[in-house]
Amino acid sequence: MKRHVHFVGSLPESLMSSPRQAMEWFLDHSGGQPLTALPCDLDPNWIIAYLRDLQTRTEVLDFNSSPDDYADYNHMPAGRIRPGVSLAPEHLTMGRIDKIDQIVAQFTALRRERPEFDGVKLQLSQPNSLDLSLFALAGAATADGLPILKALSHPGALITAVRHVPVFTEAILDEIATLSRTHGPMITWQVESPVALLALMKARMLAAPIARQLANVFTRLHRIGANSSLHLCYGDYRHTAMLQPRSLEPAVALLNALARQLRRHGTPLPMAHIPCAYGAEPAPLESQFYTPLQHLDPEWTLSAGVVAPKSLLDSMISLRLFERASSRPAHAVTTACGLGRCTPTGAEQAAATIAATAAFSDHWLPTVARDESNGFDAVPDRTRASRR
């Protein structure tokens, strides 16, 4: 099986002067490997532009502005719903229909000119409604490290955010339904939910309700005929993770719970991106980190977020550990998150490493010592040293 290159979507702002430029950049940096989709994100900083736009909707929301707003995860201001206002989907729309119409037009023209990627879908990012609601209405709950005590000290905001997740869901699905009627199967939507994975790292008991929420989104996307995939991460704003994973057990617990929910609804399992690196840290080279993948539902199609942009060797070792633990080849290979927080040079280096890792085969790796304690190949000390 030939692995695909999966680009999460974002690029440094200087490489996003137009949708055409961004899409051509990805095409030109795929290294000859097949693409899962051709992405075109609208915001190099994920949802920050959307949150800033919400601050202008003063008829329904009130934000206490500060010069430090959105400086990092510790400065995410929370909006308050104005007295007497009942939030409705039209208050929370992402307002992207005209922009996406323009992107689709440029994508269609590019596909005519570049027949080598005929049949590849346009990938658009769709932040999960749970994440949108928490970031918009409960800033304390999304601070660096997801501080539970700090969040619980403002229970009203947290309860308000959770209660309004369905309204955010309607807002995003109304927009996607409109675009699906116009552009049909040309688009695939990458549903992005760092909150889902991070919440399980804090409290495993949340697996069932979070899986239900995600399953509702994917099931409704499926019913309107929209293609989709799932992107998990540990947060990457300012290239800083909110939490540092000790293993892939939280991701496996979430995906197994989600698989059960999707089957109950008769919804196909989407491709799932599993992040192994986090923030500026590369994916671990210890087999124990990947061992929970042995228990992952076998029907998931996987995008392995193992690529360390500065080390092809480390990326290949991480991929081998990922594939051996999951007992299947990865459908695609990528970094843990998008490239929007990189420099242009860093983005080029990351793309080159993604493509080379996707083309990896075992015989490329140097001889390594056998670690009888865990049954996997142990990484040589010189390789570990190269990551520091």
pLDDT digits (tens, 9 = 90+) for 152-175: 556 788 899 999 999 999 999 999
By CB atoms closer than 10 A (0-12, 13-18, 19+), residue 345 is exposed
Q: Is 60 exceeded by the pLDDT of residue 239?
A: no
Residue 228: C-alpha distances to residues 44, 180, 211, 299, 310 (Å): 20, 12, 16, 16, 30
| Per-residue pLDDT, 65 | 79
**pLDDT tens digits, 78-110:** 899 999 999 999 999 999 999 999 999 999 999
- Torsion 65-71-73-75 (CA) sign: negative
Q: Which two three-digit tokens encode residue 296?
A: 């992952």
In percent, how much of the chain has pLDDT > 70? 86
Q: Which two three-digit tokens encode residue 319?
A: 């991929």
| Per-residue pLDDT, 71 | 66
In percent, how much of the chain has pLDDT > 90? 71
| Per-residue pLDDT, 123 | 98
Closest CA to 288 of 324, 253, 312, 332: 324
Q: Is 90 exceeded by the pLDDT of residue 294?
A: yes
Q: Using an 8 Å Cβ cutoff, are 289 and 341 in contact?
A: no
Q: Is 50 exceeded by the pLDDT of residue 378?
A: no
Closest CA to 7 of 19, 33, 20, 21: 33
Residue 370: pLDDT band (50, 70, 90) is very low
By CB atoms closer than 10 A (0-12, 13-18, 19+), residue 116 is exposed
Q: Is 50 exceeded by the pLDDT of residue 251?
A: yes
Span 296-308, average pLDDT: 97
Q: Which two three-digit tokens encode residue 52?
A: 């800033």
Residue 366: pLDDT band (50, 70, 90) is low
Phi/psi at 81 (5° precision): -75, 130
| Per-residue pLDDT, 336 | 93
By CB atoms closer than 10 A (0-12, 13-18, 19+), residue 388 is exposed
Helix (H) or strand (E) holding 41: none
Residue 236: pLDDT band (50, 70, 90) is low
Q: Using an 8 Å Cβ cutoff, are 277 and 232 in contact?
A: no
Span 231-249, average pLDDT: 81
The mean-pLDDT minimum among 192-196, 275-279, 325-329, 349-353 falls in 275-279
- Torsion 7-273-216-160 (CA) sign: negative
pLDDT winner (highest mean) among 70-84, 127-141, 319-333: 319-333
DSSP label of 82: P
By CB atoms closer than 10 A (0-12, 13-18, 19+), residue 199 is buried
**pLDDT tens digits, 26-73:** 999 999 999 999 999 988 888 999 999 999 999 999 998 777 777 666
Residue 1: pLDDT band (50, 70, 90) is low
Q: Is 60 exceeded by the pLDDT of residue 384?
A: no
How does strand 187-192 pair with strand 122-127? Answer: parallel
Q: Is 50 exceeded by the pLDDT of residue 374?
A: no
Q: Is 70 exceeded by the pLDDT of residue 235?
A: yes
The mean-pLDDT minimum among 129-143, 256-270, 277-291, 340-354 falls in 129-143
**Size (the chain), residues:** 388
CA distance 297 to 150: 35
Closest CA to 70 of 136, 15, 3: 136
Q: Using an 8 Å Cβ cutoff, are 96 and 160 in contact?
A: no
Q: Using an 8 Å Cβ cutoff, are 358 and 5 in contact?
A: yes
Residue 376: pLDDT band (50, 70, 90) is very low
- Name the pTM for this structure: 0.90
